[in-house]
Amino acid sequence: MAKASGEFDVKMVPEVLAAGSEGTGIGRMTLDKRYHGPLTATGRGEFLSYRTAVPTSAAYVARWTGGRAASCCSTPA
């Protein structure tokens, strides 16, 4: 399988939350990814996050159009 490597930029735009979600720690953004170099392409996705009252505790999931997803969780030390 051929491989290409290069740089990319990601623009994250905050989106409006559903009514009643303000102040709950929930966040939502759209993602616009632009690849540069040997590979010229674009990607779109959505980023959902949750922050607790503990500064070092949070979780997120990012889903890209086409089905790829990534997630992460951090908890207090």
Report the C-alpha gap between 77 and 32 in whole angstroms: 33
- Indicate if the pLDDT at residue 75 is higher than 70: no
pLDDT-derived band at 56, boundaries 50, 70, 90: confident
Helices (H), the chain: none
Which class for 55: exposed (0-12), middle (13-18), buried (19 or more C-beta within 10 A)? exposed
pTM of the model: 0.69
For residue 67, the model assigns a pLDDT of: 65
Q: What is the pLDDT of residues 11-50, one digit of tens each?
A: 999 998 888 888 888 999 999 999 888 888 888 999 999 9
The domains of the chain are located at: 7-72
Alpha carbon distances (Å) from 52 to 17, 30, 73 = 17, 21, 11
